[in-house]
Amino acid sequence: MPARSPIALKLLPSMTDFAFLLPVLMLFGRMEGAKTLLGDADTGWHIRTGEWILSHHQVPSHDFFSFSKPGEPWYAWEWLSDVLFAWLNSRGGLAAVVLASVVLLAATFLLLFRMARRKANPVIALLVAAIAAIISSVHWLARPHLFTLVFLTLFYGALERAREQRCLSPRALVILPAAMILWTNLHGGFFVGIVLIAAYGMGELIQIIVAPDAVKVEGLRCAKSYFLAAGACLAASLINPYSYHLHQHLLAYLGDSYAAEHIEEFFSLSFHHPVAIFFEFLLAAGAAAAFRSVTRGNWTHAVLLALFAHAALLASRNLPLYGIMATPIVAQAMDGWLRRVPQLALADWLRNLAARVLAVIDEMAETDAVSRWHLLSALGMLAVAALLYAPAPPRPFRAEYDAAAYPAAAVTRLRGSSAARIFTNDEWGDYLIYRLYPQTRVFVDGRSDFYGSDFEQKYTDVMNVQYGWEETLRRFGVDTVLLPPNAALTGALKESSRWKVVYDDGVALVFRYRRSEGEDPVSTALAGGDRGKGST
């Protein structure tokens, strides 16, 4: 390395650039880009909620989206994210929301890489971060949970630095609770941060039990600092529009088995999924790294890996959390294992190969240590923004809901039927809120915590044509049904003499209730009964 770094070297990309652009390359190179991020219509009702907050200058406490539970208590516990999404949408449309989501993902893996790089060779750190990105991609959606990924990485980095210095500093005891206030109002995943801090305290307590008497006093002091920080963050989380009622609501929701049994992102990952092999690797490497940490007297890492691995095995939405926890620990362990190979009693060719690999990655690390201007990162994000706002963007950069998955044409036809009481699935209910609110209310949408398990079970029974499904529709005055062709209820409605198809474009069918003579209609949906054919 020259003593004086030339300008040309500062212009070259570094591994930090590649870590920052890792989600960009995956999203727009290997995945479906904006379509992936908008693969869940929850984004739509978050935007509309934010617009309501900006318009009314208050955080909602009662529902205004549904006709099935109008005015009932509702906790908009991601209200600050909703405001940000609404503001972005008002300035730049869905493209701005997509771009902000890409930036949040890029920031997460930049922070994660830099954290891992402090513990291992940057080549190994980048490799493990890439594996974590692959497994976390199952939950890459333009939704408020992306803020939790950023905050979790920030908290993790701060706690690791504190652990290296043995205990949390008084400054951290102020900064962490202050950050928790912001996290709480951005996303309900804030409790993960509190659990994370408490896990560090638990690791110290376990170490006290197995450590010599000489370090127990110091260990107890450190454990106390972590538990004090966790308590302070819990107290700080009460600073939200719903105070402690938010915590009661979240505990009730997470303790309800309905979500785990009926909501896809709460299901365990299928090990036939394409990312499963990467998850299996990170699980195995995490277990080995945990054992390595324990043999070195570090119980905290073992507690973290066990806790978050359990969460990831329970629900696929927790995979990104385990990926974040595992990356720096596994990277550090892999770096240590690789450096031991040349000293092991192995075949000469294997030891020589390991030595050559170490020489190459150490040379790359030395080069990477030279400060850069990170022009590639800036140019990469500018290119994404330019393509998102291009007059005719390539398919991965079209910031719109997929017309093959959502009833775009059918909803356009329904726009003039503001009095209609429309029944559709919860995913399309989100889309209806985005497209038709405030003229039209919905039967159900993706806010499963609001509707509750009893109501959700009634909705599921209707979708599956279980006993009493007609009575449920009648009781709520449903006069219009919007469903995809393959829904079980679609077949039942086609066979029913009380319902007729008034629209079918291959993506969605619209049914209208046939009013019997003398029966008062609840509403009038789709004036005229002709069967239309829409364009997508």
Tell me the mean pLDDT per 10 residues along the chain, length 536.
Answer: 64 93 96 96 97 97 96 96 98 97 98 97 97 97 98 97 87 94 97 97 90 72 93 98 96 88 90 95 97 92 97 96 98 95 88 91 89 92 97 96 95 85 96 95 95 94 95 96 96 94 95 69 38 38
DSSP state of 463: H
Q: Write out the DSSP string of 44-55.
A: HHHHHHHHHHHH
CA 507, CA 403: separation in Å to the nearest integer? 8
Evaluated on CA atoms 419, 420, 426, 427, the torsion sign reads negative
CA 172, CA 170: separation in Å to the nearest integer? 5
Q: Pick from 296, 367, 322: which is nearest to 121 by CA?
A: 367
pLDDT score at 521? 41
**Spatial contact of 518 and 489, defined as CB atoms under 8 Å apart:** no
CA 140, CA 161: separation in Å to the nearest integer? 28
Preceding omega of 438 cis (within 30 degrees of 0) = yes
CA 24, CA 16: separation in Å to the nearest integer? 14
Token pair 């997470």: residue:
254
499-504 sheet: strands from edge to edge: 422-423, 480-483, 509-513, 499-504
Q: Pick from 125, 131, 134: which is nearest to 26 by CA?
A: 134
Q: Which pairing describes strands 499-504 and 480-483: parallel, antiparallel, or unpaired?
A: unpaired
For 313, half-sphere exposure in the C-beta direction (CA atoms, 13 angstrom radius) is 9
CA 37, CA 197: separation in Å to the nearest integer? 30
Evaluated on CA atoms 522, 527, 530, 534, the torsion sign reads negative
CA 25, CA 39: separation in Å to the nearest integer? 18
Distances (CA, A) of 373 to 260, 368, 369: 46, 12, 12
Ramachandran angles phi, psi of 324, nearest 5°: -65, -45
pLDDT score at 261? 87
CB atoms within 10 A of CB 175: 16
CA 251, CA 513: separation in Å to the nearest integer? 40
CA 380, CA 144: separation in Å to the nearest integer? 23
What are the start-end ranges of the H helices in 341-374?
Answer: 348-368
Distances (CA, A) of 134 to 27, 28, 77, 277, 285: 10, 13, 28, 10, 15
- What tokens appear for 7 in the block? 């300008």
**Spatial contact of 45 and 442, defined as CB atoms under 8 Å apart:** no
CA 54, CA 63: separation in Å to the nearest integer? 16
Query: In the chain, what are the helix, strand and coil shares in percent, each to the nearest 5?
Result: 65, 5, 30
**Spatial contact of 437 and 418, defined as CB atoms under 8 Å apart:** no
pLDDT score at 530? 37
pLDDT score at 212? 67
Distances (CA, A) of 59 to 47, 85, 244: 14, 15, 16
pTM for this one? 0.92
Give the SS3 label for residue 479.
Answer: coil
pLDDT score at 527? 36
DSSP state of 535: -
Residue 311 amino acid letter = A
pLDDT score at 532? 39
Collect all residues with Cβ–Cβ distance below 8 Å to 201 and sequence separation of at least 6.
223, 224, 225, 226, 227, 230
CA 522, CA 514: separation in Å to the nearest integer? 12
R_g (Cα) of the chain, nearest Å: 26
Residue 536 amino acid letter = T
Structural domain boundaries in the chain: 7-368, 408-513
